[in-house]
Structure 1
Amino acid sequence: MATITTLLFDFGGTLDGPAHWLDRFLASYRAAGIEITRAELDPAFDHATRIGYATTRVVARFGMTDLVRFLVGHQFEYLRKSGPGPLRARLDDSGAAGRHRFVEGVTNSFVRETSIGLAHSREVVGALKSRFKLGIVSNFYGNLDRILEEARLDRFFAAVADSSRVGIFKPEPGIFEAALKKIHCAPESAAMIGDSLGKDCAPAHRLGMRTVWLRTASQNGEDASSSDPTADITIRSIDEVAQIQW
């Protein structure tokens, strides 16, 4: 078995905090006093995500706060039109100023949690940098380089494959291959670390990479056992990456 020389990380839900963005948005909505279920927020989350992917030229200049505010704004637009009746009524009754306060409340809550996650990951990848070449493979909006620079993480990564820049989205193999090519690494010498079995582990496994599943309390419907064939190793915290005996 080849020696692992390269670690590729997912970003959202992996490096920026141990939870899927949908679940973190849900918690931020509730912290802002908006009662909504995950099932009710899910279509608004997808709607805003699609808009973000379709407007890369606009989003590419955004840092984290502007990106989250952009996404939350489009989530609110969806919820005002197609959300549950009581929430639609509340958002209408709150007026433009009230809706602005809600958007800012959700945005600030989400960004605070993200900042904590990224600061912790900075310590983790900093400790790994002397042992491995590091890269990121992420479905993102074209501004991941800006986000990493803002978080002082950019210096740790030799390759960043942002789907909106590469033009290929996980789970397609090409986005992984783009990162491996940039970092000059064969698949069998690399490991992929991410919170999604379907988008991170399965495609990387098919390419011949070793895979690490970051299994947290919420996995966006993924409830496979730790013996899932696409995950060579299952961890509960990103801190455990440094302890893996390759």
Structure 2
Amino acid sequence: MATITVLLFDFGGTLDGPAHWLDRFLASYRAAGIEISRAELDPAFDHATRIGYGATRVVARFGLTDLVRFLVGHQFEYLRKSGPEPLRKVLDDAGAAGRYRFVEAVTNSFVRETSIGLAHSREVVGQLRSRFKMGIVSNFYGNLDRILEEAKLDRYFAAVADSSRVGIFKPEPGIFETALKKIQCAPESAAMIGDSLAKDCAPARKLGMRTVWLRTAAQSGDDASAADITIRSIDEVAQIQW
């Protein structure tokens, strides 16, 4: 078995905090006083994500706060038109000024939690940099380089494969191959670390990489055998015996 010399990380839900973005948005909505279930927020989240992926030219210049505000704004637009009736009424009654305050409250809550997660990951990857080359493979909006620079994480990663820049989205193998090519590493000498079995572990394993599942929540229907190693915290990466 080849020695692992390269670690590739997912970004959202892995390096920026121990939860999927949908779950963190849900917590931020509730913290802002908006009663909504995960199932009710899910289509609004997907709607905003699709818009973000299609707006790379605009989003590419955004830092974290502007990106989150952009996504939350589109989530609210969806919820106002197609959300549950009680919430539609709340948003209509709030008026433009009230909706703006809601958007800002959700945005600030999400950014605050994300910033804490990024600061913690900076400590973790700082401990790993002497042992491994590192890269990121992420379904993102074309501005991941800006986010990493803002969080002072950019200097730790020799390769960043942002799907909206690469034009390939996980779980397609090409995005992983792009990162491996940038970092000049064979798959068998690399490990992929992410919070999704289907999008991170399964495709990476098919390419011959070692796989680490950051398990932050149950994933029904996915094959846990796609993960060679399961961890509960990003801190555990430093303790893995490859």
TM range (shorter): over 0.9
Equivalent residue for 1:243? 239
| SS of the residue 1:44 aligns to | helix
Matches within 5 A, 1:1-246: 1-216=1-216, 218-219=217-218, 221-222=219-220, 228-246=224-242
Relative to structure 1, the CA distance from residue 47 to residue 214 in structure 2 (aligned partners, 3 Å threshold; closer, same or farther) is same
| SS of the residue 2:225 aligns to | coil
The amino acid of 1:106's aligned partner reads V
Partners of 2:81 and 2:212 lie apart in 1 by 40
Q: CA deviation at 1:223?
A: 6.9
| SS of the residue 2:137 aligns to | strand
Partners of 1:127 and 1:31 lie apart in 2 by 34
Of all paired residues, the percent bearing the same amino acid is 87
Partners of 1:223 and 1:33 lie apart in 2 by 33
| SS of the residue 1:4 aligns to | coil
TM-score (norm: length of structure 2): 0.99
The amino acid of 1:120's aligned partner reads H
Aligned residues: 242
Q: CA deviation at 1:224?
A: 5.7
The amino acid of 1:97's aligned partner reads A
| SS of the residue 1:123 aligns to | helix
Q: CA deviation at 1:222?
A: 3.9
4+ long deviations beyond 3 Å: 221-225
The amino acid of 1:245's aligned partner reads Q
**Residue segments in structure 2 that go unaligned for 5+ positions in a row:** none
Q: CA deviation at 1:229?
A: 1.8
The amino acid of 2:240's aligned partner reads I
| SS of the residue 2:141 aligns to | coil
Deviations 1:100-157 (A, max 9, x none): 0000000000000000000000000000000000000000000000000000000000
**Residue segments in structure 1 that go unaligned for 5+ positions in a row:** none
Partners of 1:96 and 1:116 lie apart in 2 by 31
Deviations 1:62-94 (A, max 9, x none): 000000000000000000000000000000000
